Amino acid sequence: MDVDLPAILFWAVLACSAIWLIDVLFLRKKRLDDDPEAKDPAPVEYAKSFFPVLLLVLILRSFLAEPYQIPSESMVPTLQVGDFILVNKYAYGLRLPVFGTKVFSVGDPEPGDVMVFIPPHDPRYFIKRVIGVPGDEVRYENKALYINGERLEYDLVGTVGGTRRNPVKEYIETIQGVPHSIYKDARFESTQAWQIPEGRYLMMGDNRDKSQDSRAWGLAYEKDIVGKAVAIWLHKEPGWQWPTFSRNGWLNPEEKEEE
């Protein structure tokens, strides 16, 4: 996501409020003294009209929910390119827009959550699955994850693509009793291990061999969390295709139970 809409909204709200406030405090009285029927100048009129609308949109997007479009294959098969997802902005606490400072704590990311965040190497939003949380010891060996010494459960679904020498297979990976699908191929990958410190998170894509994630650029920071992905609400194939609701649904079992 290249356009930081919350930041644009924040500065637009600030500009409108500043124009309106300056007029009320310093200009309006003199203008009405000179002409009791004088109308507000165009900049002031626009600022008064746009301020409540922009403020409402800013509050909704910054503290409640925000839409996000999946740009890559890194979360296949869970999320497809062209999926539009809804991000719960308050699941992990309320944060100030632009600055990212947490002002109210609600909960913390859990292993298995699908989370939107800003990685340490790129200012754009990324979406990956939470694998390790503060205090965890995580090892990735022979394409399998070990968390605090326990190997995650993997159940083979079948071959979904690739080549004869390097087939891509689908597995059901289970984290803390919650299953999700992943893809992985047969290519060799070096063993990596992490001790997750406070305020950091280990993130991986479900399409393990087509995902640039914590294995490449390190651990995500708590201060850069955007929110929890909770649902797919729209899907659009690339190109001149109409959007559809064919993939609508919750991403997490708990959301399905609450529906």
Q: Provide the b/e sequence for 223-259 (b: ≥16 CB within 10 Å).
A: eebbbbbbbbebbeeeeeeeeeeeeeeebbeeeeeee
State the pLDDT at residue 32: 85
Q: Which of 84-88, 109-113, 237-241 has the lowest mean pLDDT?
A: 237-241
What element of type H or E holds 178? strand 178-184
In the numeric block, which tokens belong to residue 73?
């294959």
From the candidates 128, 184, 211, 214, which is the catalytic residue? 128
Q: Which of 92-96, 118-122, 191-195 has the lowest mean pLDDT?
A: 92-96
State the pLDDT at residue 6: 67
pLDDT, tens digit, for every residue of 140-166? 999 999 999 999 999 999 999 999 999
Among 53, 23, 109, 73, smallest CA distance to 213 is for 73
Phi and psi at 55, nearest 5°, equal -65, -40
Report CA-CA distances (Å) from 210 to 32, 80, 98, 171, 205.
Answer: 65, 13, 30, 15, 8
| Full DSSP string of 19-30 | HHHHIIIIIHHH
State the pLDDT at residue 156: 97
48-62, 63-77, 133-147 — most confident range: 133-147
Domain ranges of the chain: 5-62, 70-258
State the pLDDT at residue 66: 78
**Mean pLDDT, residues 238-256:** 76
pLDDT, tens digit, for every residue of 25-58? 988 888 888 888 888 899 999 988 888 888 777 7
From the candidates 62, 74, 211, 214, which is the catalytic residue? 74
State the pLDDT at residue 157: 97
State the pLDDT at residue 102: 73
Say what the alpha-carbon torsion angle 27, 32, 35, 41 is, to the nearest 10 degrees: 50
Fold of 70-258: Umud Fragment, subunit A (2.10.109)
Let me know if 128 is a catalytic residue.
yes
pLDDT, tens digit, for every residue of 181-199? 999 999 999 999 999 999 9
State the pLDDT at residue 130: 97
Residue 86 has pLDDT above 70, yes or no: yes
State the pLDDT at residue 127: 95
Q: Which of 70-84, 94-108, 177-191 has the lowest mean pLDDT?
A: 94-108
Secondary structure letter of residue 121 according to DSSP:
T
pLDDT, tens digit, for every residue of 197-217? 999 999 999 999 999 999 999
